[in-house]
Amino acid sequence: MPRRVDARANRGRILDVAEEVFGAGGESASTEEVARLAGVGIATVFRHFPTKAALLQAVLVRRFERLREQAEALLDNEEPGSAFYAFFRHLVADAATKIAIGEALLDAGGDGEAFQASNGLRRAVGALLERAQRAGAVREDVELPEVYALLVGMSRAAAHIGPDDEVTVRALAIVFDGLAPR
């Protein structure tokens, strides 16, 4: 039984470190660096994740699930408009790391299966959008595909110039103004 607890702890630590390492270094980061920083041997990493792609897929799936949970937690917010816009801003700020991990996964030969985990996140964002629209905080003629297009565009821009950069902040204000009811 103790080995199982240790194995789960090792797996969690490996995932935590891999998220940081690949989020910062993208495809140039290595599993050896992950093992070293997680305080385990490379064999332990490969025992849990037989390939670099498997490790990256697990990291990305966990990240999408965490984001989905955060979005779902906001569904009870008393201010649906504020919740929607805050989560949009959060997704944009989170983008550089998510993009780096996703690109590293594709570079490592991942098949994109991890991106299926984003479907739950997409549904949660859709639910936040619907609540914000019912509250009168977002235009009624906006649908989830448009919101996702705006999210992707702003995320790519923020990953390129920085989420806290003045240009990103102003661009988000313009996007939010365009989403607001007329």
pLDDT greater than 70 at residue 5: no
Nearest to 29 by CA among 6, 60, 4, 52: 52
Return the residue matching tokens 């702003």.
154
Residue 57 CA to residue 113 CA, distance in Å, equals 8
The pTM of the full predicted model, rounded to 2 decimals, is 0.87
For residue 76, give the DSSP letter.
G
If DSSP codes are grouped into helix, strand and coil, which group holds residue 51?
coil
pLDDT greater than 90 at residue 182: no
Residue 83 CA to residue 134 CA, distance in Å, equals 13
pLDDT greater than 60 at residue 73: yes
Q: What is the per-residue burial (b if ≥16 Cβ within 10 Å, else e) of 63-89?
A: bbeebbeebeebeebeebbebbbebbb
180 or 28, which is more confident?
180
Query: Could you tell me which CATH number the domain at 53-179 has?
Result: 1.10.357.10
* Amino acid 1: pLDDT: 45
Q: Which long-range contacts (CB under 8 A, 24 or more apart) does 116-125 make?
A: 117/60, 117/61, 117/64, 117/65, 118/64, 120/64, 120/65, 120/68, 121/64, 121/67, 121/68, 121/71, 122/148, 123/68, 124/67, 124/68, 124/71, 124/72, 124/75, 125/71, 125/87, 125/91, 125/151
Q: Hey, where are the domains in the chain?
A: 53-179
Region 124-149: mean pLDDT is 97
Widest distance between CA atoms in the chain = 61
The predicted-structure confidence for 21-47, as pLDDT tens digits, reads as follows: 988 876 778 889 999 999 999 999 999
- Do residues 31 and 45 make contact, with C-beta atoms less than 8 angstroms apart? yes
The predicted-structure confidence for 78-113, as pLDDT tens digits, reads as follows: 999 999 999 999 999 988 888 888 888 888 888 767
* Amino acid 165: pLDDT: 85
